[in-house]
Structure 1
Amino acid sequence: MSATETPLSVAPVALSAGDAMPESTVGPLTRTDIVRYAGAGGDLNPIHHDEPLAQAAGFPTVFGMGMLHAGMLGVRLARWVGPDNLKTYKVRFVGQVWPGDVLTFTGAVASVDDGVATLELAVASSTGGEVLRATATAAAAVAA
């Protein structure tokens, strides 16, 4: 483990209503980022990498698949609460991600009940506002 890596939590972490996930950004996204994810994830739909096809379908250019930024958010969520503590993760795609976008990842604890935190998360793009909304639940340390 390098000096810049933090070990992931195994035990439930202390979470209280209003606590915020550390905000982070990624980007600007490149077409290469989108194509690399397509290959790794097996989503080879050409609308994500073929400019003429994307334009023929009515889009200004190629765009990132929703699971790209859902996965990026999921990594941040798991680093925040610990992957062993994550119980549910649900996403809703509400916008598109384009080459050149810078993505911002945010989240907060909505409530904690009986050792389970309910989390509200989002991804916003620099060009289109919110592109993903998510909810999750995670085990939370119970105050003694």
Structure 2
Amino acid sequence: MSVLSEVRVGTELPPLRLPAISRTTLALFAGASGDHNPIHIDLDVARSAGLDDVFAHGMLSMAYLGGLLTGWAPQERIRSLRVRFAAVTPVHGEPTCTGRVVALAGTVATVELAVTLADGTVTLTGEATVDLAPES
């Protein structure tokens, strides 16, 4: 019996705790994503914008949420993923991705998602729909 067959409203996905965001992580994500906005990788640019330091790409946090979902359910079962960026993830921030099933409609679960830093700051909120039924 699949773990997905045991899902109920209130089921919590196993949290995805990530290491601190390093400058190397930001540089590698810039290259992988094609998003070379200097605000994410160049300290001088960040400071000229009035910031203390660079900060992570919002899409990096969204990618981490995708990893949370695909760690829980096969990719082909994810029907939708929507997010709202709520705060920046600073360099050295330690994000944790969480999810909780908030509704079931037939075999489709609605999962409430969040990315939270160690200090409690929520940087990303969202919702996904996941089909729990195996493909026939």
Matching residue's letter, 1:71: A
> Which of the residues 86, 105, 126 maps onto 2:97?
105
Q: Which residue of 2 aligns with 1:13?
A: 4
Q: 1:43 aligns with which of 24, 35, 41?
A: 35
Counterpart check, 1:67 vs 2:62: no
Amino acid at match of 2:8: S
Partner residue, 1:95 = 87
Letter in 2 for 1:43: D
- In the superposition, the TM-score normalised over structure 1's length comes to 0.86
Letter in 1 for 2:71: R
Find 1:130's aligned residue among 104, 112, 122: 122
Q: 1:83 is matched with which residue: 60, 70, 75?
A: 75
Superposition misfits of 4+ residues, deviation over 3 angstroms: none
The CA distance in 2 between the partners of 1:107 and 1:133, in whole Å, is 10
1:23 matches 2:15: yes
Aligned length: 132
> Which structure 1 segments of 5+ residues have no match?
1-10
Aligned-residue identity in percent = 34
Aligned equivalents of 1:12, 1:27: Cα separation in 2: 27
TM-score (structure 2 length as normaliser) = 0.91
CA contact (8 A) 2:15 2:68 kept: no
Distance, in Å, in 2 between the alignment partners of 1:141 and 1:12 is 11
**Cα distance, 1:82 vs. partner?**
1.5
Letter in 2 for 1:46: P
Find the aligned partners of 2:119 and 2:107 in 1 and give their Cα distance. 38
Q: For residues 128 and 24 of structure 1, what CA distance do their matches in structure 2 show?
A: 15
The unaligned stretches of length 5 or more in structure 2 are none
